Structure 1
Amino acid sequence: MIDPGTLMGPLWTLLGFVGLGWLAARRLAIDPRPIATLLIYLIAPLTFFRGLLLGGPTPEYLLLTAALFAFCSLIALVIGRLTRRFFAPQESALLAFSAGTGNTGYFGLPVAMILLPPEGVTLYLFCILGVTLYEFTVGFYLSARGQFSVRQSLAKIVRLPLVYAFLAALLASGLDLPMPEALMDGLAVFPATYTLLGMMIIGMTLGRVSLHEVDARFISACVAVRFGLWPLLALAAVLALQAVTPLAPELALALLLLGVVPMAANVVVVAMELAIRPAKGALAVLVTTLAAPLLIPFYLQQMMRLSGL
């Protein structure tokens, strides 16, 4: 049995960060757009460069990363194609981006560290890496296509440093290059900064939201994809893998957890950077985050039962 209380710590911490962002926007009139740029072009690449070096990538781990990247990209492409006829271009692009990702890091990682053994947490981290690579490549492209041409969208992706940070970390790990201890100690501050600023941006955006920007249809679509489609796909993936190969229980649980986390805070970060309806994205992220403590224990218990865990 999964105790809902285990989720309350991560939830209240994240909501506290959201509240700080709301206060910063309302009382200090802080503009979140430069912070979004800082996250995308500096903090996120350094965070995942450090994480990949510490994780010790192996071919098996990287295969897991590649599989999650392809899985997320496929979901986003399909949802993007299906929603074009029902939503405006910017909303459809934002919905497609959000469909391929979730709050696997800020929210999911603390939960994974509670539910999984150390080996399972490592597997989960390399799953997160695949999701993050999707966000800053295919997902960023789909978002940019909401208002930019193909050429402009590709040009924006080429400028993103996270892919280069990923390749640099693989090269350093493959060549077994020693990293100065002072450098690794300095990079240790970035994961917490990434989480703090990523969640604060949601609050900063909500601090500027007016009632006429509440779009129940868009929020409902986001919730349906995140808490309707993703749990089914995660369960189907685990059952399919179990049918063809022995699947370690910790990997199965890691995959199931990916399917039940709330919407990604990076939905707001990317929407802010590209100016594609960040207020709507922030509202949808907040709704799914508030629902997470109620839905995740129920979903995981049922999915674990169905998959024999």
Structure 2
Amino acid sequence: MNLDLGGTLIAPLWMLLAYVGLGVVCARWLALEARPIATLLIYLIAPLTAFRGLTLGGPTLGYLMLTLGTFVAASLVAMLANRLAQRWFAPQEAAVLAFSAGTGNTGYFGLPVAMVLLPAEGVTIYLFCMLGVTLYEFTVGFYLSARGRFSVRQSLVKIARLPLIYAFVAALLASGVGLSVPAGVMDGLAVFPATYTLLGMMVIGMTLGRVTIREVDGRFIAACVALRYGLWPLLAGLAVLGLQATLGIDEQLALALLLVGVVPMAANVVVVAMELNIRPEKGAIAVLITTLMAPLLIPLYLWLLMRIAGLA
């Protein structure tokens, strides 16, 4: 696979950063609040986006194994990070760090990039990898975040109220029984992926628009950067090399997995922290820094990892 990664990625990456800038403008000059938009993303836009993606992708056993694999990997990394973070950070900071450790901006950020780098079949593969990360965010990740402030029972109740889980199950059931969603409904749902990206990135900017300098925590930011741009690229590279040696995966799947590993911190770190009221401003600063690093690091990481994996 021979790609001009820098030239291919630079325009979509900077466009996503422009959405963050729009969010700052909305917070500072229009006095808009990010919290209602975060709630809208969690309870409406994310579930409908996931439902549409699953339905269009036509979930097969192979695709669902990708979803399961990324879900398990994200959950294990988050649980390990949670145990370590509790020793060094206050409960709410540890909860945000644990959530961020298991996820990346595979949706708002990674999906537009995947649509540039991959053909249609490759985008479907990436989508099912992304859904595993998204499922982690609204199950294990949401639970770990909620435990930074709520009891076990309260945290489980909050998870039970999340519609994304039910949207995921509904899409699988519809596919399993051969029920097709009417074309008119699917056409109506087509607006949600772009809305998901736009509002998700704007929430980061709207949160940053109200952040003061004293809320910058160098230790917390360093931990987030190390996890996102240190641990995850290593795990993605090892996963691709291991799968190539055992299952002989193709280039599209390999690139999809590598992309999951090199995206910046998830915007949903801010969205979930805002919904649970657990220090969203700290998450927003760390997300912005890793996102600003993305135009340089993503092409570099992908080029290096693709060479190691024999894809370039």
What TM-score, normalized by structure 2, do the two folds share?
0.96
RMSD: 1.1
For residue 112 of structure 1, report the CA deviation from its aligned partner.
1.6
TM-fit CA distance, 1:241: 1.5
Structure 2 regions of 5+ residues with no counterpart? none
Q: CA deviation at 1:28?
A: 1.6
By how many angstroms is 1:205 displaced? 0.4
Alignment partner, residue 296 of structure 1: 298
Shift of 1:67: 0.8
Q: Shift in Å at residue 135 of structure 1?
A: 0.5
- 1:51 matched to 2:53: yes
Equivalent in 126, 136, 139 of residue 137 of structure 1: 139
Instruction: Name the SS of the counterpart of 2:262 in structure 1.
Output: coil
Most deviating of 224-233 and 167-176: 167-176
Q: Which of 178, 181, 185 is 2:180 aligned to?
A: 178
Q: Which residue of 2 aligns with 1:22?
A: 24
Amino acid at match of 1:17: Y
In the aligned structure 2, how far is the partner of 1:155 from the partner of 1:214? 32
Say whether the 8 Å CA contact 1:101–1:131 is kept in structure 2.
yes
Q: Shift of the alpha carbon at 1:200?
A: 0.8
Query: Can you list the C-alpha shifts for 1:240-293, whole angstroms capped at 9, x where unaligned?
Result: 112222111211111111111111111110010001111111111110111011
User: What is the SS of the residue equivalent to 1:15?
Assistant: helix
Which residues of 2 match residues 269-288 of structure 1 at below 5 A?
Answer: 269-288=271-290
Measure the CA separation in 2 of the matches of 1:108 and 1:163: 21
- The answer to whether the 8 A contact 2:233-2:261 is kept is yes
Residue number in structure 2 paired with 1:71:
73
Q: Which amino acid aligns with 1:159?
A: R
Gaps of 5+ in 1: none
- Aligned letter for 1:214? V
1:1-309 to structure 2, matched below 5 A, reads: 2-309=4-311
Q: Give the deviation of 1:51 after TM superposition.
A: 1.0
Letter in 1 for 2:147: R
1:150 maps to a residue whose letter is: V
Q: Deviations over 1:191-248 (max 9, x none)?
A: 1111111111111100110010011111111000000000111111111112222111
Q: TM-score, normalised by structure 1?
A: 0.97
Question: Identity, % of aligned pairs?
Answer: 73
Aligned AA for 1:38?
L
Q: Deviations over 1:123-167 (max 9, x none)?
A: 111000101000000000000000111111001000000000001
C-alpha contact (below 8 Å) 1:2/1:301 kept by paired residues: no
Letter in 2 for 1:187: L
Aligned residue for 2:72, secondary structure, equals helix
Distance 1:107 1:206, change over 3 A: same
Q: Is the 8 A contact 2:48 2:167 kept in 1?
A: yes
Amino acid of the structure 2 residue aligned with 1:247: I
User: Which stretch shows the higher mean deviation, 250-259 or 4-13?
Assistant: 4-13
Give the distance between the partners of 1:159 and 1:280, measured in 2 at CA: 26
Secondary structure of the structure 2 residue equivalent to 1:31: coil
- Distance in structure 2 (CA, Å) of the matches to 1:185 and 1:109: 19
Q: C-alpha separation between the residues in 2 aligned to 1:79 and 1:276?
A: 17
The total of aligned residue pairs comes to: 309
| Alpha-carbon separation, structure 2, partners of 1:119 and 1:46 | 21
- Return the alpha-carbon distance in structure 2 between the equivalents of residues 198 and 302 of structure 1: 29
**Secondary structure at the counterpart of residue 220 of structure 2:** helix
